[in-house]
Amino acid sequence: MFDLDKIIRENIKKLKPYSSARDEFKGKEGTFLDANENSFGSPLNSPFEGGRPKDGGMYNRYPDPLQLDVKEKLSKIKGLPIQNIFLGNGSDEAIDILFRAFCNPGIDNVIICPPTYGMYEVSANINDVNIIKIPLTPEEFQLDTENILKAINPNTKLIFICCPNNPTGNGVKWSSIKTILENFSGLVIIDEAYINFAGYRSLIPELLNYPNLVILQTLSKAWGLAGLRIGMAFASEPIIDIFNKIKPPYNINSASQQLVLEALDNTDKVNEWIKEIVEERNLMSKELSQLPFIIRVYPSEANFLLIKIKEPQALYNYLVSKQIIIRDRSNMELCEGCLRITIGTKEENRLLIETLKQYK
Residue 240 scores a pLDDT above 80: yes
3-state helix/strand/coil string of 183-246: CCCCEEEEECCCHHHCCCCCCHHHHHCCCCEEEEEECCCCCCCHHHCEEEEECCHHHHHHHHHH
What number is the average pLDDT over the span 239-251? 96
44: number of Cβ within 10 Å: 12
Long-range contacts (CB closer than 8 Å, 24 or more residues apart) made by 12-15? 12/100, 12/101, 12/242, 12/245, 12/246, 15/245, 15/246
CATH (domain of 320): 3.90.1150.10
Give phi and psi for 308, each to the nearest 5. -115, 130
Which residues neighbour 71 within 8 Å (Cβ) at sequence distance 6 or greater? 82, 85, 87
Confidence of residue 50 (pLDDT cuts 50, 70, 90): very low
**Percent of the chain topping pLDDT 90:** 86
pLDDT of residue 52: 45
Number of domains in the chain: 2
Which pTM does this prediction carry? 0.93
* Region 192-209 average pLDDT: 97
Residue 327: which domain range?
A: 268-357
How far is it, in rounded angstroms, from Cα 165 to Cα 163? 5
Is residue 141 domain-shared with residue 208, that is, in the same domain?
yes
Taking alpha carbons only, the member of 288, 327, 315 closest to residue 115 is 327
What's the pLDDT tens digit per position in 20-46? 766 666 666 778 778 888 888 777 755
How does 227-250 read in b/e, with b if 16+ C-beta sit within 10 Å? ebbbbbbbbbeebbebbbbbbeeb
**Per-residue pLDDT tens for 76-106?**
999 999 999 999 999 999 999 999 999 999 9
Does residue 194 contact residue 226 with C-beta atoms inside 8 Å? no
pLDDT, tens digit, 9 for 90 and up, residues 257-309: 999 999 999 999 999 999 999 999 999 999 999 999 999 999 999 999 999 99
Residue 49 pLDDT: 47
Q: Check whether residue 300 and residue 179 sit in a common domain.
A: no
Instruction: State the pLDDT at residue 17.
Output: 86
pLDDT the model gives residue 41: 77
> Quick one: 164 and 296 in the same domain?
no
Q: Average pLDDT for residues 218-225, to the nearest whole number?
A: 96
Residues 206 and 306 in one domain: no
Check whether 57 has a pLDDT greater than 60. no
The Cα 211–Cα 67 span in angstroms is 24
How do strand 230-234 and strand 85-89 relate by DSSP bridges?
antiparallel
Query: Which pLDDT does position 28 carry in this prediction?
Result: 66
pLDDT above 90 for 18: no
Work out the mean pLDDT of the chain and round it to a whole number.
93
Position 53 scores a pLDDT of 44
The pLDDT of 48-76, averaged and rounded, is 76
Nearest to 77 by CA among 277, 219, 280: 219
Shared domain for 11 and 99, answered yes or no, is: yes
| Domain containing residue 171: CATH number | 3.40.640.10
pLDDT tens across 300-336, in order? 999 999 999 999 999 999 999 999 999 999 999 999 9
For residue 312, tell me if it sits in a domain: yes
**Packing angle, helices 346-357 and 312-321, rounded to 10:** 120
174 vs 179: CA distance, rounded Å: 9
248 and 159, same structural domain? yes
